[in-house]
Amino acid sequence: MGSLTERLSNAAGARAAAVRQALDAPERTPRTAVVLGRIVGAGFAVCFLTGIYSHLQQHPLSWLPLPTRPVELYQWTQGIHVAVGTALLPLVLAKLWVVYPRLFAWPPVRRPVDVVERVSVAVLVSTSLLQIVMGVLNTFQWYPWPFSFVRTHWALAWVLVGAIVVHIGVKLPVIVAHWRGLRGADDGH
């Protein structure tokens, strides 16, 4: 049984290496991933903060008075929310393009932290794409789903922020090493 498992692992590892080599491009570096990650993270932070403001305007808390002046404040925050959210679509796709070959790392899990990373990335990618697509469809006031946009968008925002925090925690060594273009970190994205 051990030899069968070893042969399967060797075959899968060779295929994964071939796929990674085929997908290799000079732009797919940890530095590029970190730079795009900073931009995407800042964009999601802006959307999250403006989304909280919007939510509190629509569902006010009695103990939290919000400013009512200038009267255009809500329009500005919503405009920023929509503009940044829409701009995040190509940025998220670019980030995914840069880190896509990591999907074919072999073995896929070496340490327990790799499991956390893979799960957090799955949640992060799926939630971010769903949030962006739902938001864009909301701008057209088209709701091809049977659930409340506002409640779902609000709940997914918190899931997305949690996934971002976990992802940053797992990837912190790579982020720190490539934050200002320093060399010497592992090749993880």
Domains of the chain: 30-178 (1.20.950.20)
In the block, residue with structure tokens 């919000």: 66
Residue 93: which pLDDT band, with cuts at 50, 70 and 90?
very high
Has residue 100 got a pLDDT over 60? yes
- State percent of the chain over pLDDT 90: 51
Question: Which residues, 6+ apart, have CB-to-CB distance to 58 below 8 Å?
Answer: 150
Backbone dihedral region for residue 68 (phi beyond 0: left; psi -120 to 50: alpha; all else: beta) = alpha
pLDDT in tens, 30-82: 888 888 999 999 999 999 999 999 999 989 998 988 887 888 998 999 999 99
Has residue 172 got a pLDDT over 90? no
User: Bigger pLDDT: 46 or 3?
Assistant: 46
Residue 86: the pLDDT is 96
Q: Note the helical H segments in the chain.
A: 2-23, 30-58, 73-99, 112-139, 149-178
In whole numbers, what is the pLDDT of the chain averaged over residues?
Answer: 85
33: nearest Cα among 113, 96, 88, 119 = 96
Q: Which of 75-89, 100-114, 120-134 has the lowest mean pLDDT?
A: 100-114
CA–CA distances in Å: residue 114 to residues 9, 32, 71, 102, 164:
18, 21, 48, 12, 16
Residue 132: the pLDDT is 96
8 Å CB contact between 119 and 163: no
- State percent of the chain over pLDDT 70: 82
- Using the Cα atoms of residue 113, residue 94, residue 103 and residue 28 in order, give the sign of their dihedral: negative
Residue 126: which pLDDT band, with cuts at 50, 70 and 90?
very high
pLDDT in tens, 130-140: 999 999 999 99
Residue 23: the pLDDT is 61
Residue 89: the pLDDT is 96
Residue 52: the pLDDT is 95
